[in-house]
Amino acid sequence: MPDFAHAFARRTRLRGGDELTAILAGSPPGVLSMTGGFPNPETFPTDELDEIAARLVRDDAAVALQYTPCAGIPSVRDYLIDRQEQLHGRRPERAELIVTSGGMECIALMCQALIDPGDAIAVEAPSYLGALMAFGAAEADAVAVPMDADGLLVDALAARLAAGLRPKFVYTIPEYQNPTGRTLPLDRRRELVELCRRYGVLIFEDVAYRELSFAGTSLPSLWSLGPDVVLQAGTFSKSFFPGVRLGWAAGPADVVAELAAAKQTTDQCAGGLGQRLVEEYGRAGGFERHLPSARALYASHWAALSAALTRHMPDDVAWTEPTGGFLTWLTLPEGLDTLAIRPAAQAAGVAYVPGPPFHVGGHGRNTLRLSFSHLTEPELDTAAERLASVVGAALEDRSPFTTAGGT
Ligand X SMILES: Cc1ncc(COP(=O)(O)O)c(C=O)c1O
Q: Which residues bind ligand X (CB under 6 A)?
A: 37, 102-104, 128, 130, 173, 178, 206, 208, 235, 237, 242, 247
Q: Which is nearer to ligand X, 287 or 401 (CB)?
A: 287
Shortest distance, position 79 Cβ to ligand X, whole Å: 17
> How many other C-beta atoms can be found within 10 angstroms of the C-beta atom of residue 7?
8
Q: What is the rounded CA–CA span in Å between residue 396 and residue 403?
A: 15
Angle between helices 103-114 and 129-137 (to 10 degrees): 30
Shortest distance, position 171 Cβ to ligand X, whole Å: 10
Shortest distance, position 286 Cβ to ligand X, whole Å: 18
Shortest distance, position 6 Cβ to ligand X, whole Å: 32
Q: What is the rounded CA–CA span in Å between residue 181 and residue 340?
A: 24
Q: Answer whether 104's CB lies under 8 Å from 130's CB.
A: yes
CA of residue 204 relative to chain centroid, distance: 12
3-class secondary structure, 350:
strand
Shortest distance, position 37 Cβ to ligand X, whole Å: 4
Shortest distance, position 51 Cβ to ligand X, whole Å: 24
Shortest distance, position 179 Cβ to ligand X, whole Å: 8
Shortest distance, position 235 Cβ to ligand X, whole Å: 3
Q: Cβ-closest residue to ligand X? A: 102
DSSP string over 25-58: H-PPTT-EE--S-PPPGGG--HHHHHHHHHHHHH
Q: What is the rounded CA–CA span in Å between residue 120 and residue 142?
A: 6
Q: Which is nearer to ligand X, 110 or 260 (CB)?
A: 110
Q: Which is nearer to ligand X, 295 or 386 (CB)?
A: 295
Q: Which is nearer to ligand X, 73 or 173 (CB)?
A: 173
Q: Which is nearer to ligand X, 161 or 177 (CB)?
A: 177
Q: Which is nearer to ligand X, 244 or 391 (CB)?
A: 244
Helices (H), 98-221: 103-114, 129-137, 154-162, 186-199
Q: What is the rounded CA–CA span in Å between residue 28 and residue 42?
A: 21
Q: Which is nearer to ligand X, 206 or 211 (CB)?
A: 206
Q: Answer whether 367's CB lies under 8 Å from 24's CB.
A: no
DSSP string over 73-132: -HHHHHHHHHHHHHHHS-PPPGGGEEEESSHHHHHHHHHHHH--TT-EEEEEES--HHHH
DSSP category for residue 7 = G
378-405 core/surface letters (b: 16 or more CB in 10 A; e: else):
ebbbbbbbbbbbbbeebbeeeeebbeee
Q: What is the rounded CA–CA span in Å between residue 333 and residue 407?
A: 9
Q: Which is nearer to ligand X, 128 or 319 (CB)?
A: 128
Q: Which is nearer to ligand X, 106 or 304 (CB)?
A: 106
Q: Which is nearer to ligand X, 33 or 237 (CB)?
A: 237
Element of type H or E holding 231:
strand 230-235
DSSP category for residue 173 = -
Shortest distance, position 209 Cβ to ligand X, whole Å: 7
Largest CA distance in the chain: 66
Shortest distance, position 159 Cβ to ligand X, whole Å: 25
